[in-house]
Structure formats: structure tokens, C-alpha cells
Amino acid sequence: MLRQRFVLDTTALTDSMAWEKEGCTTVCEGMSAILDCVAEARLHLGISCYVPYPSVFNEIRDFVRHNECDKTVLIKADTWLIKMTPDRYEVKIPSKIFYDYVDYMRSRMNKGMNVAEEAVWESVSRCIELSSSEGDLGKMKDEIEREVIGSVIRKFREKYRNALRYGILDSAPDIDVLLLAKELNAAVISQDLGVQRWAEQLGLRYLEARSFPVIVREYLRRARAIHESGGLPIDISYDVEP
């Protein structure tokens, strides 16, 4: 029987909706609960959960330390997550994927440029409006910086992030996740839209981080029920929320 393989990115452990479904109230509790789930799946079902090393594992380690989680969380991550460096030289990616990525990035950069132009025009227009109503702009330096420039920059950052960051691969760990999943023929576990988009382009199986613990627990539930029934066909009752 072919065993399930999963490649996790950092969001597989840190996504709030994932650990809230585990009944946890803090990210440290949530990471610990998800890793417990990974451990059970490894011991009882032979399911293997990989993380690219050192890129993603270092992100997880830094996240644990930054949030001052108990050291047992890092011990669990080190024990139950299989650390593996993707073979960046041998994994083959179709040239069409590379072409599509460059074309996609060009369109996103154009969107980012449009957002920047809008911010410049808005700041100039508001300064002109202030000048016509208030007079000497030199005496209004603090007000301009606070009311005009600060406001425009805040909006610019939000729009620029939406235009350029969401849905793209913007870090080496993201690429490592995809390469390792391609190498292992494994499913990708992530909540990152960029990873999701390009996992689909590469023909990789993809699961949202918030669904991953639920699915693993379903595997475990089914395995226990089959074991208890002596291997006979079974019906499993589910807890349905009213």
C-alpha cells in the first residue's frame, strides 16, 4: 500500500483556523496539537510529513522561539517532521510553468506600478487642495506629513500588498515546498495562496492547512474503527454540530 506523504510549509502549523479547530486558544498550543496529530499519523498509519530543510524548518523554529512557546513544541517538530533538502538540480519543472510564472509576475508588477502612480497622484492632489484653501504649505509641514503623506502611504501599502504579494511565490521556502513535493510526489499542505496557485500549475496535490488536522484525524478514526471491528466493513458515526 502506498503511504501518504505530505510536505508542510510554516502555515501548516501556524494558521489560526487550523489550531482553533483543534480547540486551542494560542498558537503554541495549536502547533503542539497539530504536531501530536502528525505523530499519531506517523506511528499508526505510516503517514510521513516532510518539511524542507533548512528553509522551512528554520522558519518554524524561529516562530516557536519568537512566540516563546514551550521547548516541547520544538522537540515535537524536530522529532516528527522529516527534514529534507529538495534536490534543486534534479527536480524537473516544465518550461511552460516558468514561462507562465514570468508572465504572471509581469502582470502583478504592472498592477503594483499602477497602485504607486495612484498614490503619487492622490498625494499631489491633496497637497494642491490644501494649498488653495490654507495658503502657505511650508507652514503646514507637520499637518501634511500626518494627514496627507501618512494616510496615502497606509493605503498604498495595503493596495500594493494586494496587487503584488498575494498569490505569488515571494520566498525561497515557498519554492522549496513545491520542489520537495514534486520530488516526493507528495501533497502540499499550506495556507499560502501563492503556494496553492503554483502547486496546481505543477499538478501537485494540495490541501489547505486548516483542513489538514481534520483529514488526518479522519484517517485515524477510520483506522481505529476498522481495527475494532476486526477488519470488517464499518459505519462511522460523526459528531454533527446542530
**Alpha-carbon span 238 to 105, nearest angstrom:** 44
**Alpha-carbon span 20 to 6, nearest angstrom:** 21
User: Do 148 and 126 form a contact (C-beta atoms < 8 A)?
Assistant: yes
pLDDT digits (tens, 9 = 90+) for 127-150: 777 666 665 656 666 666 666 777
Confidence of residue 242 (pLDDT cuts 50, 70, 90): very low
User: Which CATH code of 3.40.50.1010, 3.10.580.10, 3.30.930.10, 3.40.50.12780 fits the domain covering 5-85+171-228?
Assistant: 3.40.50.1010
Alpha helix ranges (H) inside 81-211? 95-134, 141-143, 150-164, 172-184, 193-201
| Mean pLDDT score across all residues of the chain | 85
Global model pTM greater than 0.85 = no
Residue bearing cell 518550461: 95
* Contacts with 227 (C-beta within 8 Å, 6 or more apart), sequence order: none
pLDDT at residue 50 is higher than 50: yes
Confidence of residue 126 (pLDDT cuts 50, 70, 90): confident
Residue of 159 and 148 predicted with greater confidence? 159
- Residue 8, classed as helix, strand or coil, is strand
Residue of 9 and 107 predicted with greater confidence? 9
**Alpha-carbon span 242 to 6, nearest angstrom:** 32
How confident is the model at residue 240, as a pLDDT?
43
pLDDT at residue 241 is higher than 50: no
How confident is the model at residue 237, as a pLDDT?
52
Q: Could you count the other beta carbons within 10 Å of the beta carbon of residue 124?
A: 12
Phi and psi based region of residue 203 (left: phi greater than 0; alpha: psi -120 to 50; beta: remaining): left
Confidence of residue 52 (pLDDT cuts 50, 70, 90): very high
